Amino acid sequence: MKPETMSPSNKRGKFITFEGIDGAGKSSHIAGVVELLRAHGLNVIATREPGGTPLGEKLRELLLNKAMHPETETLLMFAARREHLAQVIDPALARGDWVVCDRFSDATYAYQGGGRGLDKNKFADLEQWVHGHLQPDLTFLFDLPPSVAGERITAQGRELDRFEQEQADFHIRVRLAYLERSAASPQRIQVINADQPPEIIKKQVEDTVITRCL
């Protein structure tokens, strides 16, 4: 199709993901980005992993609460992701909507690879199988020391899920795996120092979205 006959609706939307260790404080900034994009007149789907579909949310319930073999955990993460792509992400992007997702495959590399110590080479095959056709256009990695994140979680005083209950060394390995992943894809993954006041983080995130995506 000639460019002059293209309307915004037949242009593929963008896919933005947020990552970080538990307690990094992504949630409010995800909401801020969704608001910013909507203020620019874009249709935005805000979603999360594991989850994002009725089946995926059932898998999330199991993944966050039931003990299982680390490889089962990995396969269920990718199974939920396959469903999420088929039902939500791919159709949204195809119709020109934007998708903002709380976690995606970088989390599997970090948690199941770094945290659980599984062979990351195996993930590459699963990643290719499940979403060889798609990578996020932009990923924010909220980085901070696990000790600071742990204090934030403790201060919330809520019940902890299976990942949050892991020991400090687990979260240290998750953080390192995330940083390794960002070093391998510096164009896609923007590291944000999450140990700063929220208004500074908000500005850094929004400036990046404006410069890189809008």
Per the annotation, where are the binding residues? 20-27
Q: Which residues bind ligand TYD (CB under 6 A)?
A: 22, 48-50, 77, 102-103, 107-108, 111-112, 163
Q: Which residues are annotated as a binding site for ATP?
A: 20-27
Phi, psi of 18 (to 5 degrees): -125, 135
Q: How far is the CB of 46 from ligand TYD (least distance, A)?
A: 13
Q: How far apart are CA 8 and CA 176, in angstroms?
A: 39
Using alpha carbons, list the distances in angstroms from residue 204 to 128, 151, 194, 207. Answer: 31, 23, 10, 5
- 111 exposure class (CB count in 10 Å sphere: 0-12, 13-18, 19+): buried
Q: How far is the CB of 114 from ligand TYD (least distance, A)?
A: 10
Looking at beta carbons only, is 24 or 36 nearer to ligand TYD?
24
8 A C-beta contact, residue 147 and residue 22? no
Looking at beta carbons only, is 2 or 158 nearer to ligand TYD?
158
Instruction: Classify 113 as helix, strand or coil.
Output: helix
8 A C-beta contact, residue 35 and residue 82? no
Looking at beta carbons only, is 1 or 67 nearer to ligand TYD?
67
Q: How far is the CB of 209 from ligand TYD (least distance, A)?
A: 20
Looking at beta carbons only, is 103 or 173 nearer to ligand TYD?
103
Q: How far is the CB of 105 from ligand TYD (least distance, A)?
A: 7
8 A C-beta contact, residue 214 and residue 36? no
Among 34, 43, 13, 26, CA closest to 106? 26
Q: How far apart are CA 43 and CA 20, in angstroms?
A: 25
Q: How far is the CB of 81 from ligand TYD (least distance, A)?
A: 7
Looking at beta carbons only, is 40 or 58 nearer to ligand TYD?
58
